[in-house]
Amino acid sequence: MSLYTSVVLKGDQDSQQGTKRKTECPKSPDSPTTSMLQETPLQNLHLASQAVLERAQKQGRSKCPKCNSSRMFYCYTCYVPVETVPTSEIPVVKLPVKVDIIKHPNETDGKSTAVHAKLLAPEDVTIYTYPCIPDYEEMKHEIALIFPGPNSVSVNDIPLSLLNKLEKKVGCKRVNDLPVEPVLKHAKVEPASDSDFGDLSSHSAIKNTGLKKIIFVDSTWNQTNKIITDERLQALLQIELKSRKTCFWRHQKGKPDTYLSTIEAIYYFLVDYHRELLKEKYEGQYDNLLFFYSFMYQLIKNARSSAGKE
Ligand SMILES: [Zn+2]
């Protein structure tokens, strides 16, 4: 489980667009456990058919094709679906940036939602087990770490913040000599207007945000602090997500419900990135990242309901 706090929204930008985000969790007047049973969040996502998961769930645990372990849906150590879940029936999500997930070795694999990202966006996601992580030093001007620290900035500030890092990196070189013109241009671009003269905003000229890779830490809060203070991650730009409530079924008592699971954090980051930096209309492009998550959420909700705990 990963625990992400985030800034409080000053105004709900989604509601300004006339449609309230359907994927958000319900308000929680009571404890998180009861609140998430009151409504059905995650139900209006643009998801691929989950029939394959329904079948697999009826068949029970199945074998991992790699390590032969008995698992439900997927193997959380090999990052592959089990035999009853053919890869061809799992959606593939193309991400606009690469995603690295740094997993704490003590984090219980079966509880982590990080593997969902690897299963659904295998080309774009890499999972590392701490302390074996890449050296990001040379790429720090094109990478950001999702972490709500004292120096973290919002998604909107990514282009300028990365540009600052690039300027520091090259020292006395003039920025104009560098191939960063699109970044500069992007930073000055006005928010896309909804004019009816075609959607110029979605063309490539403003798509260079400077960001190539985003890093998430998959661990409990205490473990996260240890990873975050690793000197190899110190130079990286830190991003704080907008406040959203988790739907995570392993939500712990005493933790704010704005601590998101890793797959939720990845999903919400990408939605914001798509809307606010790529300036494109969000039409569910990344919803399938929640393919397993939403199904498992529903299973647990149903199980608790039938157990009479509701
Ligand atoms: Zn396996």
Q: Determine the distance separating the centroid of ligand 1 and the alpha carbon of 80, expressed in angstroms.
A: 7
Q: Determine the distance separating the centroid of ligand 1 and the alpha carbon of 76, expressed in angstroms.
A: 7
Please name which of 128, 80, 72 lies closest in space to residue 104, comparing C-alpha atoms: 128
Q: Determine the distance separating the centroid of ligand 1 and the alpha carbon of 246, expressed in angstroms.
A: 28
The whole-angstrom distance between residue 292's C-alpha and the CA centroid of its chain comes to 14
| Residue carrying structure tokens 């058919």 | 49
CB contact at 8 A, 237 and 145: yes
**How would residue 152 be classed by pLDDT, with cut points 50, 70 and 90?**
very high
Residue 238: strand pairing partners:
145
The whole-angstrom distance between residue 73's C-alpha and the CA centroid of its chain comes to 21
The domain ranges of the chain are 93-189+206-306
Q: Any residues with CB less than 8 A from the CB of 70 and at least 6 apart, and which?
A: 61, 62, 63, 64
Mean pLDDT calculated for residue range 139-162: 92
pLDDT at 36: 39
Q: Which of 31-45, 250-264, 270-284 has the highest mean pLDDT?
A: 270-284
Q: Determine the distance separating the centroid of ligand 1 and the alpha carbon of 247, expressed in angstroms.
A: 27
pLDDT tens profile 208-248: 889 999 999 998 777 888 898 899 999 999 999 987 877 77
- In Å, what is the CA distance from 122 to each residue of 2, 20, 175, 247? 20, 30, 35, 24
**How would residue 265 be classed by pLDDT, with cut points 50, 70 and 90?**
very high
**How many angstroms separate the CA atoms of 201 and 190, rounded?**
10
- By the CB criterion, residues less than 5 angstroms from ion ligand 1 are 64, 66-67, 69, 75, 78
Q: Determine the distance separating the centroid of ligand 1 and the alpha carbon of 74, expressed in angstroms.
A: 8
Q: Determine the distance separating the centroid of ligand 1 and the alpha carbon of 145, expressed in angstroms.
A: 29
Q: Determine the distance separating the centroid of ligand 1 and the alpha carbon of 99, expressed in angstroms.
A: 22
pLDDT at 2: 47
Q: Determine the distance separating the centroid of ligand 1 and the alpha carbon of 116, expressed in angstroms.
A: 14
pLDDT of 9 > 50? The answer is no
- 93-189+206-306: CATH class: alpha beta
Mean pLDDT calculated for residue range 118-141: 95
pLDDT tens profile 58-111: 999 999 999 999 999 999 999 999 999 999 999 999 999 999 999 988 777 778
Q: Determine the distance separating the centroid of ligand 1 and the alpha carbon of 83, expressed in angstroms.
A: 11
Residue 23 or 165, more confident: 165
Q: Determine the distance separating the centroid of ligand 1 and the alpha carbon of 104, expressed in angstroms.
A: 19
Q: Determine the distance separating the centroid of ligand 1 and the alpha carbon of 61, expressed in angstroms.
A: 13
Pairing of strands 237-239, 125-129: unpaired
**How many angstroms separate the CA atoms of 148 and 151, rounded?**
8
Q: Determine the distance separating the centroid of ligand 1 and the alpha carbon of 273, expressed in angstroms.
A: 33
Q: Determine the distance separating the centroid of ligand 1 and the alpha carbon of 168, expressed in angstroms.
A: 44
Q: Determine the distance separating the centroid of ligand 1 and the alpha carbon of 226, expressed in angstroms.
A: 28
pLDDT of 12 > 60? The answer is no
DSSP labels for the chain? Answer: ---B-EEPPSS-HHHHTTS--TTSPPP-SS-HHHHHHHS-TT-SS-----HHHHHHHHH--EE-TTT--EESSEETTTTEE-TTS-GGGS-----SSEEEEEEPTTS-GGG-SHHHHHHHSTTTEEEEETT-----GGGGGGEEEE---TT-B-GGGHHHHHHHHHHHHHTTS-GGGSS-HHHHHHHHPPPPP--SS--GGGSGGG---S--EEEEEES-HHHHHHHHTSGGGTTSEEE-EEP-----TTPPTTS-TT-B-HHHHHHHHHHHIIIIIS----SSTTGGGGHHHHHHHHHHHHHHHHTT--
pLDDT at 256: 67
* Sign of the CA dihedral running 208, 92, 228, 225: positive
Q: Determine the distance separating the centroid of ligand 1 and the alpha carbon of 63, expressed in angstroms.
A: 8
Q: Determine the distance separating the centroid of ligand 1 and the alpha carbon of 64, expressed in angstroms.
A: 5
